[in-house]
Amino acid sequence: MKVSIFGTGYVGLVTGACLADMGHDVICVDVDESKVEKLNNGVIPIYEPGLESIVKNNFAAGNLKFTTKAEEAIAFAKLQFIAVGTPPDEDGSADLQYVLAVAETIATHMQDEKIVIDKSTVPVGTGDKVRAKIEGVLAERGVEIDFDVVSNPEFLKEGAAVGDFMKPDRIVIGCSKESSEAPMRELYAPFNRNHDKILFMDVRSAELTKYAANAMLATKISFMNEMANLAERLDADIESVRLGIGSDPRIGFQFIYPGAGYGGSCFPKDVQALTRIARDAGYDAELVQSVENVNNRQKHRLFEKLSAHFNGELAGKTIAVWGLAFKPETDDMREAPSRCLMEALWNTGAKVVAYDPEAQEECLRIYGERDDLTLVTNKDAALESADALVICTEWKAFRAMDYEAVVQKLANPVIVDGRNLYDPAIVKNYGITYYSIGRA
């Protein structure tokens, strides 16, 4: 099938590359000329395992193209994906200006029937707004062209997005016209061979499904962090508790790891947006609001533990930080716990020496060159003469600790482990002062 995708960000690029890899002909559109030029030259703007080779192979094969010419892409395909950003507005709601701008562009240039597919994470009712925008533009043009608006939310985990797209748990499609179901089923047929994973529903239910899924996962994380904070006060071990409750198949082991809080482009934004959606509907979503409150508080736990150890005297101290990205296998630092930690340290007059396998450039882009931030090329270099080590991201490279090297290199053998990577008993044997989440 022929497919046009507006947006070459995280969702748009993964969607376009994976559809092309299954044999569809895909054009990806972006207003950023520099980004399109880089993509046409084989430069991938994001780090996502497995994505680069798929993009390059399908670009070379001719079934994945990149352009800034919207009119060309609109004429190319019946299926028009909207995969642009929906950043949080000042009031916490999702900003739909980019989604509606694409809808207007499609309506301005469309000459034949189109299926407009919302792939962006959008509030319930956005499909109605997209439909109204297209109808309004067509009316201004004085033409009648058949179209439908479909909701097709993504469920991609950063660091595993290619696998999630290629082998989805479910494919949620919200249609208002029955005639749109056959083309959408044909589009996803290559991903649907093992058993039928497609869930057809109405547009509003599909839009709510995306928010409900992310809010549920965020709730599990915040709940475990709440229990971890309680475990510390009760002299219990949250890791034992995790095993105890995770063994219950109704709960399971996924998303119940205590830590320094969630971040990234989805959970913080979507939880906040869902709270606003509920408020606009006349409902006070207390649980969802509490999930956000717990997470915002949790992001400061690493600094609190560090500050308590040094009795609040952090000025002039150098703190080693392992991990800058909000999770492993990505360079994304949006809403990352590391940012809360570093900014709090800088406010006290402390310095940071940091290492991350992928997020170094992103950190430099966000904060620029500054005297109180040093980025090093390996984890051991960060330890040299630092007063403490803080682990913010559970990269695989950090899981096996050389405790003797830590004792030798650190000026003070102190570790604040925001991801509970190490066994407290083993760490203690090396004479290291060790703080983790929810464990004595």
Catalytic residue positions, numbered = 266
Q: How far is 145 from 161, CA to CA, in rounded Å?
A: 35
Cβ pair 151, 130 in contact under 8 A: no
In DSSP terms, which residues pair with 151 in a beta bridge? 118, 174
Q: 196 burial class (0-12, 13-18, 19+ CB within 10 angstroms)?
A: exposed
Q: Could you give the CA distance from residue 369 to residue 165 in angstroms, rounded to a whole number?
A: 37
> Which residues touch 438 (CB under 8 Å, ≥6 apart)?
227, 228, 229, 231, 232, 236, 237, 238, 239, 241, 258, 420
